[in-house]
Amino acid sequence: MILTYLKPTKDKINTFLPLGSIFVIFAFLDILANTFLNRNITGFLPQTLSFLIPLLFGFVGFYLIRIEFSGIRFLDKLNKNINSSNFNAFLTLLILFIIIKAISPLMNWLILEANFVGSTKDDCTGNGACWVFIKVWFNRLMYGLYPDVEQWRVNSAFILLFALVGIAFFVPQKIKKYFIIFLLFVYPFIGIKLLSGGSFGLVYVETAAWGGLSLTFIISAFAILFCFPIGVFLALGRRSSLPAIRYISIGFIELWRGVPLITVLFMAAVMFPMFLPDGTFIDKLIRVLIAITLFEAAYMAEVVRGGLQALPKGQYEAAKSLGMGYWRMNILIILPQALKLVIPGIANTLLALVKDTPLIFVVGLMELAGMIGLAKTNPKWLGMAMEGYVFAGLVFWIICYAMSRYSQNLEKKLSTER
Amino acid sequence: MNLKKLNIENKKIRDFIPQALTVLALISVIFYFATNAQINMGNRGISFGFGFLSQEASFDIAFSLIEFDGSYSYGRAFLVGLLNTILVSIIGIFLATILGVIVGVARLSSNYLIAKTAEWYVEIFRNIPLILQIFFWYFAALRALPPPENAINFYDISFLTIKGWYIPKFVWINFDIFCYSLILAFISIYFLNRFAKKQREEFGKILPTVTLSLGILISIPLLSFLLLGVSLSFNYPELKQLSETSYTYDNGVSIIPELIALALALSMYTATFIAENVRAGVMGVGKGQKEAAASIGLNKGQILRLVVMPQALRIIIPPTTNQYLNLTKNSSLAAAIAYPDMVLVFAKTALMQTGRAIEIISITMLTYLSLSISISIFMNWYNKKMAIKEK
């Protein structure tokens, strides 16, 4: 009898709703006062009980306001989304309380008590993060050990790249083709020349001095550029009817996919020079670029193969019946369709490539994460690991999240088109 | 007739030429590399061979599962590294699976807050490079832990400090008998399930298999404790003063911070991918399946166990195995924080000492390669077994 009375139903809404709301509000008031005002309302109770009181009150309150078909829109929505059962109510409270508890120290560390002004470690007097560290080292984190006076070259190489890509989007279809050819086959050489110098009146900058975030972009851009065509060729090779080519492709793909990138980089750094005639020297950055490109090309090949396999056989037969040869069939009929099918997969591979670039630290090249490692071991800036890695993580997260969102949108757009 | 024959000949030749050229090019590249390698090694006064594996290694390894010091061979060092790789991979896979399943299920929750929290967990940890996460845990988070004398104390049983995590040591007596009893329990559970299946299929009787299995799993090892002289006691870690300001813990087992950081980062990163697989798997089971199961009178638990899970697992397991493999390969990032895994011990330290780049890199890559290939062979077998058999 008592149990049925305690069950919240619509006809008792006038009792239950205010009562439940009071419980819930009290729970949140207690936790908020505890976190932000440092006041313990329930301090007179034993410690454990006082700690658990918001949870208990919130739970009871949520139970009382769980009235089905109450007719109040907000309440129904609330019940449906965060309060559909006892278990859900408990989890909701737990998550909300953890967020409230975590947000205040996090904000303090990140912003409120952090230090933004100054130029040495001693200027960091607050309890929060020392963003002065990032400010002072910002130049190094972006450009590595690239000489300060020459950094305009890095900037102009990237500005040129972005300008070209931007223009390529807007020019008419006819010229677009030439633009893309220029971008793919001419620009890389201009970019390299601009960065390394040595002629045209530019001072030579050795690749060991390249670094920071710009190196991440350079490596990603080159690897993306080259791994894509190689991957397509490998995928075609794997599906070739010629056994020698098929087996070589399979062997090549499985070899790279079977080993971690770090061993491939080691191979490029210490084993590869042994395979070259004595005295020949290939720049370390080039070796690393080749290694990353081949490694990612193997993954790309598997993605493209998925697209090739997904195409119906009729497409191949139709192309052949028109009298097309192998290359014409693939370039004009098969690949355009297959690649469109696997755009999400391609985007994921490129994302993985960007996330893999910090690994080049194993061969002594320092992009963003590597420069943080260098900066935090500087005797004047010891103990700055947290700031450094949080900053680097944030930068990488923004890049990768933007890429993944873009690929998701692309996927949605393409799936509606079909 | 003649023309047709010519045509075939033509096609054969057309097929033969590119293949021959490719093979020839490959062979000549390999030959060129091999000759150069031979000359280079000759110049350095070393010859190709694996004899160095039995030489004395003369370096120490900070953390090893088997006995090791400088007097053991390079081969043994390789084994230590391999075991450490396997150790961190198993821990990582275990944690990643638990976390991944929880997050994956949470993403499907009807509770808006839980679903959003899980979604943001995935978005945050998937889009930060793994190496940065490892660095963060190792250089930033774990370095903020207190020194041994003010350790974070878990009920005097285990202690978390900047030098690592100290946990009780298990002291077994007659451990082998315990192992046999476990094996026996698993064998009897297997036969019980077979028997139950037979009963169900032939007589329509449903036995409480889960309860019975659990009972067997607990009772047989318990019997080994009571009757066969197996016993287990714990050595708790104790604070010990080394010098004026330096403390450490004795008697327990120490889990080094490198291992903690690596296992944490690997499992939190891989869990995001597993969560996505779990979500895709559960969503991949059609609504009609659940409704059909409900309409023939199965209850909620039975629907999940007999209808949804078998179909969802078919979607979940192949990509998840792939993630396990990725985790194992990613454990090579240990080299960045000096956790002595195969890459650090063998491809870095041993290589630096012996200078045998070709042999050592080849062994390391072949080990990973054989691991990957054996798992993909298993996966192909599994896929074939689990594939929907259409008639």
CATH number at residue B295: 1.10.3720.10
Q: Which amino acid is at B388?
A: I
Same domain, B269 and B348: yes
The mean pLDDT of B348-369, rounded to a whole number, is: 85
Pull the structure tokens for residue B227: 């009757």
Residue of chain A nearest B110, judged by CA positions: A81
Q: Nearest CA to B131 among A265, A365, A361?
A: A361
CB B125 within 8 A of CB B252: no
Considering only A5-9, A347-351, B137-141, B194-198, which range has the smallest mean pLDDT? A5-9
Contact between A355 and B130 using a beta-carbon 8 Å cutoff:
yes
Considering only A240-249, B27-36, B171-180, which range has the smallest mean pLDDT? B171-180
Structural domain includes residue B231: no
Same domain, B120 and B249: yes
pLDDT over 60 (residue B177)? yes
pLDDT over 60 (residue B1)? no
Interface test with A, best of B11, B78, B111, B339 (most A CBs within 10 A): B111
Is A397 an interface residue toward B (CB < 8 Å)? yes
Same domain, B38 and B86: no
Q: Which of A242, A248, A266 sits opposite B361 (nearest CB)?
A: A266
With vertex at residue B39, the alpha carbon angle to CA B35 and CA B43, rounded to the nearest 5 degrees, is 170
Q: Which residues of A touch B359 (CB under 8 A)?
A: none
Q: Which residues of B touch A401 (CB under 8 A)?
A: 123, 127
Interface test with A, best of B14, B109, B120, B132 (most A CBs within 10 A): B132
Instruction: Name the residue ranges covered by the structural domains of chain A.
Output: 2-112, 132-146+205-417
Contact between A396 and B132 using a beta-carbon 8 Å cutoff:
yes
CB A214 within 8 A of CB A143: yes
Same domain, B92 and B29: no
Q: Which amino acid is at B245?
A: T
Question: Where do the H-state alpha helices sit in chain B?
Answer: 2-44, 74-107, 112-126, 130-135, 175-203, 209-227, 257-284, 287-295, 300-302, 309-330, 342, 351-354, 357-386
Is A81 an interface residue toward B (CB < 8 Å)? yes
Pull the structure tokens for residue A7: 């069950």
Contact between B361 and A267 using a beta-carbon 8 Å cutoff:
yes
pLDDT over 80 (residue B306)? yes
Residue of chain B nearest A384, judged by CA positions: B140
Tell me how many residue pairs between chain A and chain B have CB atoms under 8 A apart: 165
* pLDDT score of A149: 74
pLDDT over 90 (residue B95)? yes
Percentage of chain B with pLDDT > 70? 96
Structural domain includes residue B105: yes
Is A404 an interface residue toward B (CB < 8 Å)? yes
Percentage of chain A with pLDDT > 90? 8
Which residues, including other chains, have CB under 8 Å from residue A355's CB and lie 6 or more apart? A396, A400, B127, B128, B129, B130
Burial of A378 (0-12, 13-18, 19+ CB in 10 A): middle
Contact between A88 and B364 using a beta-carbon 8 Å cutoff:
no
Q: How far is CA A44 from CA A49, A313, A362, in A?
A: 10, 77, 58
Same domain, B251 and B318: yes
Closest CA–CA distance from residue B136 to any residue of chain A (Å): 6
Q: Which of A258, A270, A390 sits opposite B357 (nearest CB)?
A: A270
Is A109 an interface residue toward B (CB < 8 Å)? no
Widest pairwise Cα distance in chain B: 100
Structural domain includes residue B198: no
Is A315 an interface residue toward B (CB < 8 Å)? no
pLDDT over 50 (residue B229)? yes
Residues in chain B: 391
Question: Where do the H-state alpha helices sit in B45-174?
Answer: 74-107, 112-126, 130-135
* pLDDT score of B390: 55
Q: Which residues of A touch B41 (CB under 8 A)?
A: 274
pLDDT over 90 (residue B100)? yes
Is A325 an interface residue toward B (CB < 8 Å)? no
* pLDDT score of B122: 92
* pLDDT score of B92: 92
Structural domain includes residue B212: no
Q: Nearest CA to A400 among A354, A342, A334?
A: A354
> Which residues in chain A come in under a pLDDT of 50?
418
Radius of gyration of chain A (CA): 30
- Backbone phi, psi, residue A405, to 5°: -65, -45
Q: Which of A255, A259, A359 sits opposite B131 (nearest CB)?
A: A359
Q: Which residues of B touch A392 (CB under 8 A)?
A: 132
DSSP B72: S
More confidently predicted of B355 and A264 = A264
Contact between B343 and A263 using a beta-carbon 8 Å cutoff:
yes
Same domain, B40 and B115: no
End-to-end, the C-alpha distance of chain B in Å comes to 42
Domain enclosing residue B18, as ranges? 2-48
* pLDDT score of A231: 92
Same domain, B86 and B40: no
Same domain, B147 and B269: yes
Structural domain includes residue B197: no
Structural domain includes residue B346: yes
Structural domain includes residue B55: no
Interface test with A, best of B365, B366, B374 (most A CBs within 10 A): B365
- Backbone phi, psi, residue A206, to 5°: -70, 155
* pLDDT score of B59: 77
Residue of chain A nearest B128, judged by CA positions: A397
What is d(CA A378, CA A383) in angstroms, rounded to the nearest whole number? Answer: 10
Is A400 an interface residue toward B (CB < 8 Å)? yes
Is A302 an interface residue toward B (CB < 8 Å)? no
CB A151 within 8 A of CB A192: no
Same domain, B29 and B140: no
Residue of chain A nearest B17, judged by CA positions: A242
Residue of chain B nearest A359, judged by CA positions: B131
Q: Which run of H or E residues covers position B241? A: strand B238-241
With vertex at residue B113, the alpha carbon angle to CA B107 and CA B114, rounded to the nearest 5 degrees, is 35
Q: How far is CA A156 from CA A140, A171, A178, in A?
A: 17, 22, 22
Q: Which run of H or E residues covers position A366? A: strand A366-367
Contact between A277 and B329 using a beta-carbon 8 Å cutoff:
no
Q: Which of A81, A244, A359 sits opposite B111 (nearest CB)?
A: A81
Same domain, B108 and B24: no
Q: Which of B33, B124, B371 sits opposite A397 (nearest CB)?
A: B124
Structural domain includes residue B155: yes
Topology (CATH) of A132-146+205-417: MetI-like fold (1.10.3720)
Same domain, B122 and B44: no
* pLDDT score of A418: 47
Q: Indicate the pTM of the whole model.
A: 0.86
Structural domain count of chain B: 2
Please list the residues that pair with B173 across neighbouring strands.
Answer: B231
Q: Nearest CA to B266 among B334, B327, B343, B329?
A: B327
Same domain, B30 and B81: no
